[in-house]
């Protein structure tokens, strides 16, 4: 076992030790099997825990934006509030709806949660904390994250409820539109980074994050990605699939108990996933801030574990998303589609072209100042 003394707080020390012990004592097959199960358990737990933390953070920050205190009765500063809520949701009855399509109604939440779990697995939480790392990682993430919309549409269809149906259709229109923009924004950065694999992309951002590297073009892509990611997660101001005043709760009106919990969890986790993909692609993922030539500074920065960097950057983006959510009123469906098809998409296409030109002519920051970045 070789401990990495320069970065003693890294979890990858633990995982590589575990790996070497397992491989030393067991055959290849069993070692891998145990590792797979462990990874799955850890990811599932992280999924639930992150959702709980997010729900708490969202409620608190929302409250602060509205000059309230937010939850502050359960536990110190209300810290146990979301745990209590989770227990409540677990204990609730799962109501069977008359004349609903039983099978699809039951299956829909799983589509949602599995899609979000699959995407969750592709996130690089830190150095060596990366479960799925394809050479087409960006493509994989876009592909599996769009599975979730099937869950939404099925939920709306199988509930036998007009409100759910309208909510699901709105969600479908919204998702299909904004998926396009999100995809193009990611493509822009793929052009810049020259790779679709998240780990290589992060390594390439060691000294210069993509958002700075591609300057104008990157920043436009970043903003567009945040907007469309926000829209994809059905959160305000794009929350018209679940506009309470018009559609009660939209596509998950008829769900109760754990099934509703799945939707709720997936909604929060999708917010986290969008933020973490944006972190990975634009903000250098788990890379600490490093500057060419400042070796002492780099040493200190690298001492902070990579997962702290990752979660810190992601938290900033999540805060941004909450800030947007509590600043703007809900859009109408025509405004929503206008925004996408008349503004974001054309801008995005021009931006993609601009990025290609930038990269080809070497006008990126790394191209302009090769020694500095």
Partner 1 sequence: MSSVSQYFSGLFTGIKSLMLGMSVTWKELWTKKVTQQYPENRGTLVISDRFRAELTMPHDENNEHACTACGICQMNCPNGTITVNSKMIETEDGKKKKILDTYQWDLGMCTFCNLCVLTCPSDAIKFENTFENAVFTRSKLMQQLNHEGSKLREKKKEPLIPKGE
The site for partner 1 (CB under 8 A) is made up of 64-69, 323-324, 326-328, 342-343
Backbone dihedral angles phi then psi of residue 171, each to the nearest 5 degrees:
-60, -40
Pick the closer one to partner 1 by CB: 96 or 342: 342
Closest approach, Cβ 65 to partner 1, in A, equals 5
**Among residues 296 and 329, whose Cβ is nearest to partner 1?**
329
Cα–Cα dist 15/27, whole Å: 18
| DSSP-based three-state secondary structure for 135 | coil
Would you say 65 or 134 has its CB closer to partner 1?
65
Closest to partner 1 by CB, 102 vs 342, is: 342
CB of 290 to partner 1, least distance (A): 30
Q: How is 165-212 classified by DSSP, letter by letter? A: HHHHHHHHHHHHHHHHHHHHHHHHHHHHHS---HHHHHHHTSSS-HHH
Q: Using CA atoms, how far apart are residues 152 and 294, in angstroms rounded to an integer?
A: 50
CB of 342 to partner 1, least distance (A): 8
Q: Can you give the C-alpha Rg of the chain in angstroms?
A: 22
Q: What is the dihedral of CA 289, 186, 131, 50, to 10 degrees?
A: 70
Which positions ≥6 away from 24 have C-beta within 8 Å?
none
Which is closer to partner 1, CB of 303 or CB of 323? 323
Minimum separation from the CB atom of position 324 to partner 1 (A): 7
Instruction: Report the nearest approach of partner 1 to the CB of residue 220 (Å).
Output: 11
The minimum distance between CB 171 and partner 1, in angstroms, equals 23
Residues in contact with 91: Cβ distance below 8 Å, sequence separation at least 6, in sequence order = none
**Which CB sits closer to partner 1, 62 or 366?**
62
Give the burial class of 41: count Cβ atoms within 10 A of its Cβ; 0-12 exposed, 13-18 middle, 19 or more buried: exposed
- Let me know how many helices (H) and strands (E) the chain has, helices first: 17, 2
- CB nearer partner 1, residue 294 or residue 323: 323
Query: To the nearest whole angstrom, how small is the minimum distance from the Cβ of residue 79 to partner 1?
Result: 17
């Amino acid at each position: 076992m070789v401990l990495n003394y320069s970065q003693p707080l890294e979890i990858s020390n633990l995982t590589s030790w575990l790996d070497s012990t397992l491989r030393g004592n067991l055959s290849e097959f069993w070692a891998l099997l145990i590792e797979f199960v462990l990874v799955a358990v850890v990811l599932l737990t992280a999924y639930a825990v992150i959702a709980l933390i997010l729900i708490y953070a969202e409620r608190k920050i929302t409250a602060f934006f509205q000059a309230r205190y937010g939850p502050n009765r359960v536990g110190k500063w209300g810290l146990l509030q979301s745990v209590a809520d989770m227990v409540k949701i677990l204990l609730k009855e799962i109501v069977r709806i008359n004349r609903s399509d039983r099978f699809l109604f039951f299956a829909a939440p799983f589509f949602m949660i599995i899609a979000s779990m699959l995407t969750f697995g592709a996130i690089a939480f830190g150095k060596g904390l990366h479960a799925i790392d394809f050479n087409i990682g960006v493509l994989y993430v876009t592909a599996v994250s769009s599975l979730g919309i099937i869950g939404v549409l099925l939920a709306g269809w199988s509930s036998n409820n007009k409100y759910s149906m309208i909510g699901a259709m709105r969600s479908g229109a919204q998702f299909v539109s904004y998926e396009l923009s999100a995809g193009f924004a990611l493509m822009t950065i793929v052009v810049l980074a020259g790779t679709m694999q998240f780990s290589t992309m992060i390594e390439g951002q060691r000294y210069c994050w993509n958002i700075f590297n591609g300057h104008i073009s990157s920043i436009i892509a970043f903003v567009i990605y945040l907007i469309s990611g926000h829209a994809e997660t059905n959160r305000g101001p794009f929350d018209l699939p679940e506009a309470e005043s018009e559609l009660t709760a939209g596509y998950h009106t008829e769900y109760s108990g754990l099934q509703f919990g799945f939707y709720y969890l997936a909604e929060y986790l999708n917010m986290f996933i969008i933020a973490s993909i944006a972190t990975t692609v634009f903000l250098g993922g788990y890379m600490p801030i490093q500057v060419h030539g400042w070796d002492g500074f780099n040493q200190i920065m690298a001492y902070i574990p990579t997962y702290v960097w990752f979660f810190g950057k992601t938290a900033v983006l999540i805060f941004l998303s909450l800030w947007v959510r509590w600043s703007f009123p809900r859009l109408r469906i025509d405004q929503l589609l206008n925004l996408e098809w008349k503004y974001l998409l054309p801008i995005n296409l021009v931006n993609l072209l601009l990025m290609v030109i930038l990269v080809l002519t070497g006008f990126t920051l790394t191209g302009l100042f090769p020694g500095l970045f």
